C-alpha cells in the first residue's frame, strides 16, 4: 500500500473544495483534493445553463435557508461577492449581470473552472481525479483509503456536495461520513426543484405546458415575485423553484396570478357588463390568454354581485396551489438540509466534536436562493475553512 502524506485532504473537487484548497495552498499548506469523478467541477460546467451564475451582487444572509439563519453570516461577510469578482477580473473573464444582481460568464462556465484550476496550480494544490474513496478513518491523523492508495493528513475537509442530480454522481457520501464521526444531520430534501400537479390541477392545466407569467408565490412566511412556468407535469420557472425550497408537503402555496392589479375593478363599477367574457378580457390583460381562460373555467364567479366579484378577486391573488410533490433530486438544483450547523464553527467550518474535520459547501445545512447564492456559499464556506487550515 502506497501512502501519501499531506497537510490537508479535501474530498470533492467542486466549487467549495477547490476554493478551500486554493486558500489553504496559498498559505503554504500541502493540499490534495481527492475527486471521485474523472474530472473536477462537473456541476460548475452545467450551472447557469452552461454560463455559471457564479455570484450575486445583492448577497445577504436572508438569501440563505438554514436551521440556524445566523450561521452563514460570518463566512459570507469574510468572503464577499466583490472578492470573487476581483478573482474573475484578475483572470480577465468576461461577465455580465443578467438580472437581479445575477452575474454570469459571457462565454462559458469553463472559464470559472479553468480559473479555479489555474489558481490551484499556482498554489501548489494537487487535484487527483478518479479517486475511489473507500474508507475514512482517524487515528493520529485522518487516513483516506482509496484502493491501492492511502492518503494521510491531520486535517480532512468534506466538500462532496449534496444529493441533487444523481446522474452526475451525487451520493450521500458526505452525510454518511458525518454520521460515522457522530456529526448530526438535518433532514434533507430537494430544493430549487419543479413541483408536480395534484390530479385535479393536472386535468385542468397540464395541456397549458409552456405558458409562463409573472406571479408572487408565498409559503412558510416567504414570498418571491418572478416568472412561473406551466409544464406537462406541474409548475416550474424561477418563482416556483425559489418557493420549492421552503415548501413542505401538506402546505399549499399561495399564488398571486395578477400582482398589483385589481382585475375585477372595472366590472364592479355601476353599469359595467358583468359576464364571463368581460372578466376574462380583464384577466387576459395581465395573465396569458389560455391560462386566464382556463383559470376562469375552474374559478367562475358564483354570482355577478360585488361580493362575489370581490371573492373572485381574492382567489386570483391567493390561488392555493397544493402540489403532489416535487420532481425530486433528479431535477433539483440543490439539497436543503445537511450537516447540522450547530456542529460546526461558523468561522472555520470545523466540527466541534471532531477537531480537524471540516465541512464546506452544499453538504452543510445552508442553502441559497436561486441566483448565484449557492456558489457564493461554496466560495465563502470554502475560503473560511481554507484560511483556517
Ligand X SMILES: Cc1cc2nc3c(=O)[nH]c(=O)nc-3n(C[C@H](O)[C@H](O)[C@H](O)COP(=O)(O)OP(=O)(O)OC[C@H]3O[C@@H](n4cnc5c(N)ncnc54)[C@H](O)[C@@H]3O)c2cc1C
Interface with ligand X (CB under 6 A): 11-17, 34-37, 42-43, 46-48, 52-53, 133, 159-161, 164-165, 169, 171, 173, 333-334, 361-362, 372-375, 378
Q: Which residues, 6+ apart, have CB-to-CB distance to 172 below 8 Å? A: 163
The nearest distance, CB 320 to ligand X, in angstroms, is: 29
Considering the complex, state which of residue 56 and residue 213 has its C-beta at the smaller distance from ligand X: 56
The nearest distance, CB 186 to ligand X, in angstroms, is: 16
Considering the complex, state which of residue 17 and residue 386 has its C-beta at the smaller distance from ligand X: 17
The nearest distance, CB 28 to ligand X, in angstroms, is: 23
Considering the complex, state which of residue 72 and residue 267 has its C-beta at the smaller distance from ligand X: 72
The nearest distance, CB 21 to ligand X, in angstroms, is: 11
Q: Please check whether residue 36 is in contact with residue 132, taking contact to mean a CB–CB distance below 8 angstroms.
A: yes
Considering the complex, state which of residue 171 and residue 302 has its C-beta at the smaller distance from ligand X: 171
**Reading across the β-sheet that carries 31-34, which strands appear in turn?**
126-128, 31-34, 8-11, 155-158, 357-359
The nearest distance, CB 140 to ligand X, in angstroms, is: 22
Q: Which residues, 6+ apart, have CB-to-CB distance to 287 below 8 Å? A: 213, 257, 258, 295
Considering the complex, state which of residue 78 and residue 203 has its C-beta at the smaller distance from ligand X: 78
The nearest distance, CB 86 to ligand X, in angstroms, is: 18
Q: Which residues, 6+ apart, have CB-to-CB distance to 209 below 8 Å? A: 230, 231, 232
CA 305, CA 73: separation in Å to the nearest integer? 52
CB-closest chain residue to ligand X: 14
Considering the complex, state which of residue 46 and residue 303 has its C-beta at the smaller distance from ligand X: 46
- End-to-end, the C-alpha distance of the chain in Å comes to 27
Nearest to 354 by CA among 206, 142, 76: 142
The nearest distance, CB 71 to ligand X, in angstroms, is: 15
Q: Which residues, 6+ apart, have CB-to-CB distance to 46 below 8 Å? A: 109, 168
Exposed/middle/buried for residue 315 (C-beta within 10 Å: 0-12, 13-18, 19+): middle
| Strand-strand pairing, 102-105 and 126-128 | unpaired
The nearest distance, CB 174 to ligand X, in angstroms, is: 7
Q: Give ∠ CA 273-277-281 in degrees, rounded to 5.
A: 95
Nearest to 204 by CA among 92, 300, 328: 300
Considering the complex, state which of residue 288 and residue 356 has its C-beta at the smaller distance from ligand X: 356
Considering the complex, state which of residue 165 and residue 195 has its C-beta at the smaller distance from ligand X: 165
Task: Phi first, then psi: give them for residue 267, nearest 5 degrees.
Answer: -65, -30
Amino acid at each position: 500500500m502506497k501512502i501519501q502524506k499531506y497537510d490537508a485532504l479535501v474530498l470533492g473537487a467542486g466549487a467549495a473544495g477547490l476554493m478551500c484548497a486554493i486558500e489553504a495552498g496559498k498559505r503554504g499548506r500541502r493540499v490534495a483534493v481527492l475527486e471521485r469523478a474523472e474530472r473536477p467541477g462537473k456541476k460548475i460546467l452545467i450551472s447557469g445553463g452552461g454560463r455559471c451564475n457564479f455570484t450575486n451582487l445583492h448577497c445577504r444572509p436572508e438569501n440563505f435557508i438554514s436551521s440556524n439563519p445566523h450561521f452563514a453570516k460570518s463566512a459570507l461577510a469574510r468572503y464577499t461577492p466583490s472578492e470573487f469578482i476581483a478573482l474573475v477580473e484578475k483572470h480577465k473573464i468576461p461577465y455580465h449581470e443578467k438580472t437581479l444582481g445575477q452575474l454570469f460568464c459571457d462565454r462559458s462556465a469553463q472559464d470559472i473552472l479553468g480559473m479555479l484550476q489555474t489558481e490551484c496550480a499556482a498554489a501548489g494544490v494537487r487535484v487527483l481525479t478518479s479517486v475511489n474513496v473507500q474508507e475514512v478513518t482517524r487515528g493520529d491523523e485522518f487516513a483516506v483509503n482509496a484502493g491501492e492508495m492511502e492518503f494521510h493528513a491531520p486535517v480532512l475537509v468534506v466538500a462532496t456536495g449534496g444529493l441533487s442530480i444523481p446522474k452526475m454522481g451525487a451520493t450521500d457520501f458526505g452525510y454518511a461520513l458525518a454520521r460515522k464521526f457522530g456529526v448530526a444531520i438535518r433532514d434533507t430534501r430537494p430544493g430549487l426543484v419543479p413541483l408536480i400537479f395534484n390530479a385535479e390541477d393536472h386535468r385542468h392545466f397540464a395541456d397549458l405546458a409552456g405558458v409562463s407569467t409573472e406571479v408572487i408565490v408565498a409559503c412558510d412566511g416567504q414570498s418571491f415575485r418572478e416568472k412561473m412556468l406551466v409544464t406537462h407535469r406541474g409548475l416550474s420557472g424561477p418563482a416556483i423553484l425559489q418557493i420549492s425550497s421552503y415548501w413542505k408537503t401538506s402546505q399549499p402555496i399561495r399564488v398571486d396570478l395578477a400582482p398589483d392589479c385589481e382585475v375585477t375593478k372595472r366590472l364592479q363599477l355601476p353599469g359595467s357588463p358583468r359576464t364571463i367574457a368581460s372578466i376574462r378580457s380583464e384577466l387576459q390583460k395581465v395573465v396569458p390568454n389560455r391560462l386566464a381562460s382556463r383559470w376562469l373555467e375552474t374559478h367562475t364567479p358564483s354570482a355577478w354581485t360585488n361580493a362575489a366579484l370581490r371573492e373572485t378577486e381574492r382567489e386570483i391573488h391567493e390561488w392555493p396551489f397544493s402540489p403532489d410533490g416535487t420532481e425530486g433530486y433528479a431535477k433539483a438544483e440543490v439539497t436543503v438540509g445537511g450537516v447540522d450547523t450547530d456542529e460546526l464553527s461558523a468561522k472555520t467550518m470545523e466540527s466541534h466534536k471532531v477537531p480537524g474535520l471540516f465541512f464546506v459547501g452544499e453538504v452543510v445545512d445552508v442553502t441559497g436562493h436561486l441566483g448565484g447564492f449557492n456558489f457564493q456559499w461554496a466560495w465563502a464556506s470554502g475560503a473560511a475553512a481554507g484560511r483556517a487550515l
